[in-house]
Chains A and B, each alone.
Chain A
Amino acid sequence: DVKVTQSSRYLVKRTGEKVFLECVQDMDHENMFWYRQDPGLGLRLIYFSYDVKMKEKGDIPEGYSVSREKKERFSLILESASTNQTSMYLCASSPPGLYEQYFGPGTRLTVT
């Protein structure tokens, strides 16, 4: 079974803090993705990565950065958290040669 894990299920941070969300997959997948999910807006792609040290902007990259130093780990960084970044953050990965994505359990981030 594909296993995608995220470092926290729930996180509460203050405005202006630097926030790290970590995602790990154990299936040697090349492609990894970060989404946020908000009521009425659905899932929106923030960043994705095709390989180690590679990154591509998604639809809403502003206010975020990413890091992929190892194949199995993809980190999302909120440089200076703001209240409008309160959301559910979902990490996903997909295997080489296939296109479906497998999601982690999500991190519910609240910025106060």
Chain B
Amino acid sequence: EDQVTQSPEALRLQEGESSSLNCSYTVSGLRGLFWYRQDPGKGPEFLFTLYSAGEEKEKERLKATLTKKESFLHITAPKPEDSATYLCAVQATNSGYALNFGKGTSLLVTP
């Protein structure tokens, strides 16, 4: 059965303190791995898609990487406005278009 596990559940950083969020996955065949940002009371906002091991994507202070077993979302010099829940999802080759989501990492960046 496909599984997505995110760690840590919650992370508190000082402004400027870089760190990484982890997404471990098991899937029969990976079509894609997706990162989303979700602010309280709002729908998830799409950030990145990664398709194969070794691939990297960047957007402002965020950088996503992918291996055969896990993905990392690196946050460099975070600001308070980066505070949100970050969700990881995988899409298996045999699942049609359905996404299987992890439970998310809640990030708080303090000034």
Task: Specify which chain A residues have a CB less than 8 angstroms from the CB of B45 in the assembled complex.
Answer: 103
Query: Which residues of chain A are within 8 angstroms of B64 by Cβ–Cβ distance?
Result: none
State the majority secondary structure of interface residues on A.
strand
Distance of B70 from chain A, by nearest CB (Å): 18
A87 to B: closest C-beta gap in Å: 13
The interface on chain B, measured as residues whose beta carbon lies within 8 A of the other chain's beta carbons, has a size of 22
The answer to whether residues A42 and B104 also contact, given A50-B97, A99-B97, A100-B34 and a CB cut-off of 8 A, is yes
| Contacting pair B49 A99 (CB below 8 A) | yes
Which among A99, A100, A104 is the interface contact of B43 at CB below 8 angstroms?
A104
**Residues in B neighbouring A4, C-beta threshold 8 A:** 43
CA distance A52 to B34 in the complex (A): 26
A92 to B43 alpha-carbon distance, docked (Å):
9
Q: Within the assembled complex, what's the spacing in Å between the Cα atoms of A33 and B46?
A: 15
Q: Please state if A90 and B43 are interface contacts (CB–CB under 8 Å).
A: yes
The chain B residue with its CB closest to the CB of A108 is B41
Question: A99 near B104 (CB under 8 angstroms)?
Answer: no
On chain A, the residues within 8 Å of B104 by CB distance are: 42
A99 and B98 contacting across the interface, CB-CB below 8 Å = no
Chain A nearest CB: distance from B13 CB in Å? 22
Query: With a CB–CB cut-off of 8 A, which chain B residues contact A60?
Result: none
Q: Tell me whether B87 is interfacial, beta carbon within 8 Å.
A: yes
Do residues A43 and B43 form an inter-chain contact, with CB atoms below 8 A? no
Please pick, from B31, B87, B103, the residue contacting A99 in the complex, using a CB distance under 8 A. Answer: B31
Q: CB-defined interface of A88-112 with B at 8 Å, one 1/0 digit per residue?
A: 0010101000111111111010000
Q: Of residues 41 to 76 in A, which have CB atoms within 8 Å of B's CB atoms?
A: 41-43, 45, 48, 50, 56, 58
Cβ of A43: which chain B residues have Cβ within 8 Å of it?
44, 87, 89, 99, 101
B46 close to A101 (CB less than 8 A) = yes
Looking across the interface, which residue of chain A has its beta carbon closest to that of B98? A45
Contact surface of A with B, Cβ cutoff 8 Å: 4, 31, 33, 40-43, 45, 48, 50, 56, 58, 90, 92, 94, 98-106, 108
